[in-house]
A and B are shown apart, each in its own frame.
Chain A
């Protein structure tokens, strides 16, 4: 029961308190690039969540059974990068086959998940925090959910701001950055939830 509670807390803390985008400032490029419409933002979030969970799964095994077992920790970056790149490729092919519309909407940002620092950051945080297998999966999934939450929220705000009475010089990207900053400030408030 204790461990279940702990896992739930880990999940909430990854989604809200340590939100990847708004608190740790990882994965900013798709956060600003694909957040024009809620629908595409949500799809992007789903794709990122999928890749993150799979990456957490894969990197945990690679880290524990290959890198640490063979004393090859220095190859962490390299092995993680190829795993992430292959997973993104796989997701890209999958989406292209299943939903060409979604494939088009995500555009260049789909392959860019490869170099998305949120995913690489997540993969590197797992060995750093010494998470076990279940924790890694929860952490990866939570990171993805947090990313989805942030990107969908800002997309909603941007849809509103598009028709809002925004001063001329702030239209477009500037007001988006201001909104993102305010959202980050608001998310800082979740730090109060931290147990420890």
Chain B
């Protein structure tokens, strides 16, 4: 008995010692120099390994950022804070990237959209969409079972009483999970500064939409016509907003007859050019309705009859000579 115990102890000990020595030798022979900054960068990152940056995990991102393949700002979860720290570490300037937020493109909750049938199955949007028949008459609408709420790793989505998801801007990290999950593709990522949202995804003709949903886009094209920067385009019976072009003037929301477009920004009530105007003619060139007149190097005037209060002149003026009054709509 004793000898077996001794043999076992000795033989395993010798074997382990032999292998350990071999490995120790190998780790010296095959030692790979690693950039210590990768480790430090990894420490700074949130460590959620969510993949929102496009890399497999935080460590891969750290490697890429140290190699300079991706800007320090491309971690959407960490935001400005992480970007600044990374920039400090790498000695680069942090340009603040525009934060993005998931936007819901449907407004038809239980109250607004007509019902087709009563669904009594698995309580999941993916399951409900798989059977091909929607509970609501609109086949593009939100199914309302809250798959997005479930998939959101940051608790940024909650379902309201109307059966529609609400995105909490402060918690959303633009991780794209809801965008991928929604079987009706109702989420898009838009810039955090975006104040205009066309909340409909229905490609049905206006006549059909009018019958089944109180707030669906009826493709009247009024928003397309009123938009001073051509940020809205009709795509197969649906007005689609290009967030990159939008200047958040809110004119489309004002015009929309069915209230599909939400506007959260401040509407310009009064706008005028002050004495500071140096007559550079920039505003006159940019004005979409030619409401600004004036000679070069002289103070310009806004024609109140023509002005649509889009605020482009306010944005382009190099000397801040345009004053505006705003009000929350």
Contact (Cβ within 8 A) A89 B11 = no
| Interface bin, chain B | 10 to 19
Partner of B15, one of A66, A94, A96, A169: A66
Chain B residue numbers with a CB within 8 Å of A71 are: 4, 7
Q: Does A182 contact B (CB under 8 A)?
A: no
The A-B contact count (CB < 8 A) is 47
In chain A between 74 and 111, which residues have their CB closer than 8 angstroms to a CB of chain B?
75, 78-79, 82-83, 86, 89-90, 93-94, 96-97, 100
Contact (Cβ within 8 A) A70 B7 = yes
| Interface bin, chain A | 20 to 34
Task: Write the chain B residue with the least CB distance to A78.
Answer: B12
Contact (Cβ within 8 A) A93 B26 = yes
Contact (Cβ within 8 A) A93 B16 = no
Contact (Cβ within 8 A) B19 A86 = yes
A93-B27 CB under 8 A given contacts A66-B15, A82-B15: yes
Chain A 56-77 interface mask (CB, 8 Å, partner B; 1/0):
0000001000110011100100
Main secondary structure of the interface of A (DSSP, over half): helix
Contact (Cβ within 8 A) B8 A72 = yes
Shortest beta-carbon distance, A82 to chain B, in Å? Answer: 6
Partner of A75, one of B12, B20, B23: B12
Chain A residue numbers with a CB within 8 Å of B23 are: 86, 89-90
Chain B 1-39 interface mask (CB, 8 Å, partner A; 1/0):
000100110011001100110110011001110000000
Main secondary structure of the interface of B (DSSP, over half): helix
Contact (Cβ within 8 A) B30 A75 = no
Contact (Cβ within 8 A) B12 A79 = yes
Contact (Cβ within 8 A) B19 A66 = no
Chain B residue numbers with a CB within 8 Å of A67 are: 11
Chain B residue numbers with a CB within 8 Å of A94 are: 26, 30
Contact (Cβ within 8 A) B30 A79 = no
Interface centre among A67, A82, A93 (most CB of B within 10 A): A93
A24 to B16, CA, bound (A): 31
Shortest beta-carbon distance, B55 to chain A, in Å? Answer: 12
Chain B residue numbers with a CB within 8 Å of A89 are: 23, 26
A82-B19 CB under 8 A given contacts A72-B8, A75-B8: yes
Task: Write the chain B residue with the least CB distance to A85.
Answer: B19
A72-B7 CB under 8 A given contacts A86-B23, A89-B23, A93-B26: yes
What residues of chain B have their CB less than 8 Å away from a CB belonging to chain A?
A: 4, 7-8, 11-12, 15-16, 19-20, 22-23, 26-27, 30-32, 130
**Which 9 A-B pairs give the minimum distances between C-beta atoms?**
A97-B30, A86-B19, A93-B30, A70-B7, A66-B11, A90-B26, A93-B26, A72-B8, A96-B32
* Contact sample, A vs B, 12 pairs, CB 8 Å cutoff: A62-B15, A70-B4, A70-B11, A72-B4, A72-B8, A72-B11, A75-B12, A79-B12, A79-B15, A89-B26, A100-B32, A169-B130
Additional A-B contacts beyond A75-B11, A89-B26, A90-B26 (15; CB < 8 A): A62-B15, A70-B11, A71-B4, A75-B8, A78-B12, A79-B11, A79-B12, A79-B15, A83-B19, A89-B23, A90-B22, A94-B26, A97-B30, A97-B32, A100-B32
